[in-house]
A and B are shown apart, each in its own frame.
Chain A
């Protein structure tokens, strides 16, 4: 599995579960013990060192606070996973909260790269989102006047193979 931690990339693989959880991160293997804590708090013992802190999931990210520092962790789809999805789902998500001004496509419509999908207003600026590649619009999850939060799914599409490639 791949993760980005404040922008840095780390790979993580579970090697053993018994008698102890051992996780390979990068090139090194670490012994991990979790101490039960309530709700948003966590306590881990990694290679004998205790780490206590807080964590909270916000959309695709898990925010972690430990040692007086904040970390934003996001799981990254691996290349093989992305390739497998190559002919599959595209998701257009909101970069920041806003409101839909207009929808420019319909469900079932075939779009080309650059075709307008919808126009939204965010931070007092209007932005028009366009298709990143040739695709068919599966589902439009919003409508004009609808407000959305950051990371909200706006439009789902299924990409089609480019016949010219």
Chain B
């Protein structure tokens, strides 16, 4: 097993990896940018080394400095966390070339799965379902005929596209030709590339993903699925395990497909295969993420595992610590991502200083955070402050515990989405497990903040006024220094 591991990351995930390293008595090395010098991961680590970079985020992308530091401090291995360099194939390769172990998959797997078209083709070759699609090869009539064969509704997308531009939903064959021409024109204008393709459009899809672990020699186990359909700005904000209202046959098929794909790629270490599940029960491969994911704690909690621990074992050549047969899901776990943002203004990121932080505690509550009181929340880094994870023996119990936890969490000084998340927990459709990726948009009205109760506003202003020394003096007619002591009553 490794003696010393460097974490090429920051914030919540760096703290989380450090915790597991500590439990194994492995020394943990943190790297940080000057702006992060007071961040929790720096003081949690056994050693911390500063990286020079102009922009804060650039520090965590500086491959050369990170590898140099790892060698200098005598680390055996590097854990990339998620984001930053975690899916950078050349970084993974350079780490291994430097004689260090990379705690993750090999560079070739990253390249294969990082190229979405290669990944899709590979998946199809393994018999994993992919959304039917047809490319426009030049002849409009031919394209219309083939596209119609996919079935309606379908989506026409720009091959070079993004940001929803050049995308059109087509519901009938009659509109197809005209939409194709219009989409190609738009694609030419926005991307300088008129290539389009048609793909099955799934309405109200669910995003279901399967966690896998591979030993790098062709053996892969799955750790069941997670539901990640509650998203805003195409980012997940609530995840859970297991996926609610999922037929056993569908679950088995999803997990089997994920294992098949990862095994065919001789995948090593942790990865996640993402699928789109249609209301009719059909599912299609979306992509594979070759890293540990943000939402891994829900899987850990329903299986009683430490995924970072398993990652270390695999990277150290010790293989998996269990077999597929030994795994079974118990209970239910939900994760909410606490973010510095204003849901009422289209979830725009917020800044501020965390003046007060109180995290609820309990046997069924876990908070994976990378923040501390007094910390400045700036736009330099991601707006996620931490993850609140709860478990229960049933989904209803987990939802109930999450409602209480979100009510009890206190973050003062920067706006967060805590109250928004609580409104989702209280929404009847969420409680019924009727989820899809358009949930946040579909229920926007019901999820918007209700006006504050008048008595609460009054209580808030009185509480705020009484915080002020001058006001206390006036209110209680009490001279200094007694007025400053607070809580003084005549």
Chain B residues in 8 Å Cβ range of A44: 459, 462-463, 466
B230 CB to nearest A CB, Å:
20
The docked-state distance in angstroms from the alpha carbon of A63 to that of B462 is: 12
A132 CB to nearest B CB, Å:
23
Most buried by B among A8, A58, A124: A58
Chain B residues in 8 Å Cβ range of A73: 460-461, 464-465
Pick from A12, A70, A71, A97: contact of B465, CB under 8 Å: A12
The docked-state distance in angstroms from the alpha carbon of A12 to that of B468 is: 14
CB of B456 within 8 A of CB of A23, answer: no
Count residues of B near A (Cβ-Cβ below 8 Å).
42
CB of A68 within 8 A of CB of B460, answer: no
Q: Is B452 part of the contact surface with A, judged by Cβ < 8 Å? A: yes
B447-479 CB contacts (< 8 Å) to partner A: 452-453, 455-468, 471, 474-477
Pick from B459, B467, B487: contact of A66, CB under 8 Å: B459
Chain A residues in 8 Å Cβ range of B415: 70
| In the complex, residue of chain A having the shortest beta-carbon distance to the beta carbon of B419 | A69
Interface string of B348-370 (1 = CB under 8 A from A): 00011101101000000000000
A36-77 CB contacts (< 8 Å) to partner B: 36-37, 40, 42, 44, 46, 49, 51, 53-58, 62-71, 73, 75
Pick from B351, B413, B461: contact of A97, CB under 8 Å: B351
Interface residues of A (CB under 8 A from B): 1, 3, 5-6, 8, 10, 12, 14, 17-18, 21, 23, 25, 30, 32-37, 40, 42, 44, 46, 49, 51, 53-58, 62-71, 73, 75, 96-97, 123-124, 149-150
Interface residues of B (CB under 8 A from A): 351-353, 355-356, 358, 376, 378-379, 406-407, 410, 412-413, 415, 419, 422, 452-453, 455-468, 471, 474-477, 486-487, 489-490
Query: How many contacting A-B pairs (Cβ < 8 A)?
Result: 137
CB of B459 within 8 A of CB of A69, answer: no
CB of A62 within 8 A of CB of B464, answer: yes
CB of B467 within 8 A of CB of A55, answer: yes
Chain B residues in 8 Å Cβ range of A150: 351-353
A140 CB to nearest B CB, Å:
23
| In the complex, residue of chain B having the shortest beta-carbon distance to the beta carbon of A50 | B459
Q: A6-B452, A58-B413, A149-B376 are in contact. List 14 more A-B contacts (CB 8 A).
A: A1-B471, A3-B464, A3-B465, A5-B464, A10-B458, A55-B463, A56-B355, A56-B412, A58-B352, A62-B467, A63-B355, A64-B464, A65-B412, A68-B407
Task: Decide: A32 near B462, CB < 8 A? Known: A8-B457, A17-B476.
Answer: yes
Chain B residues in 8 Å Cβ range of A65: 410, 412
CB of A25 within 8 A of CB of B467, answer: no
CB-based closest 5 A-B pairs? A36-B487, A73-B464, A71-B460, A63-B412, A62-B464
Task: Decide: A97 near B464, CB < 8 A? Known: A18-B490, A57-B355.
Answer: no
A111 CB to nearest B CB, Å:
29
CB of A96 within 8 A of CB of B351, answer: yes
B409 CB to nearest A CB, Å:
9
The docked-state distance in angstroms from the alpha carbon of A86 to that of B415 is: 33
Chain B residues in 8 Å Cβ range of A124: 379
Chain B residues in 8 Å Cβ range of A53: 459, 463
Task: Decide: A57 near B467, CB < 8 A? Known: A17-B476, A66-B456.
Answer: yes
Chain B residues in 8 Å Cβ range of A42: 463, 466-467
Chain A residues in 8 Å Cβ range of B464: 3, 5, 55, 62, 64, 71, 73
Chain A residues in 8 Å Cβ range of B460: 5, 64, 66, 71, 73
CB of B457 within 8 A of CB of A34, answer: no
A14 CB to nearest B CB, Å:
6
Chain A residues in 8 Å Cβ range of B378: 97
CB of A58 within 8 A of CB of B353, answer: yes
